[in-house]
Amino acid sequence: MTGVETRSVSRDSLFLLANVSVEQQSAQHRVRVRNLSDGGMMGEGTMKVNRGNRVDVELRNVGSVKGTVAWVQDQRFGIAFDEEIDSQAARAPSNSAGAHGGADANPVSYAHRAPPTPKDSNNLRKI
């Protein structure tokens, strides 16, 4: 393998979950999406797929995307989408204002962040 990047489409490394179903099979499988581009994705999971299988992928904030399995190696596989998607939308939180259409749908929460620093340093408590 050379050090030259031969891909024509940039892709994002990420970790999210998606539901994948193989055409003409009723079972839906939960898989890990390891990287995602507008034209395809690499998934990982225990589902059995073969190169050439037609699949339907349910991606958060994107919806249902049809594609074809391009390669399979162990528990990883590549899917080429039939039509390009907005791969950045899948990265956004599923409860964003864009997903639910309301400005109040995503209120600011400080549950996992420190509160802002007070503007007046005289109000700081000395420890």
Identify the domain containing residue 35 by its residue range.
11-92
Q: For residue 97, what pLDDT is reported? A: 44
- In the numeric block, the tokens 């391009």 are attached to 70
pLDDT digits (tens, 9 = 90+) for 70-115: 999 999 999 999 999 999 888 888 754 444 444 444 444 444 555 5
Strand partners, 30: 19
Mean of per-residue pLDDT scores for the chain:
79
Let me know if residue 118 belongs to a domain. Answer: no
Residue 36 counted as domain residue: yes
For the chain, the domain total comes to: 1
Note whether 79 and 43 are within 8 A (CB): yes
Where are the alpha helices (H) located in 33-124, listed in sequence order? 87-91, 97-100
Domain with 80 in it: what CATH number?
Answer: 2.40.10.220
| Residues of the chain above pLDDT 70, percent | 64
Please give the Cα distance from 11 to 43 (Å, whole number). 13
The pTM (predicted TM-score) of the whole model is 0.65
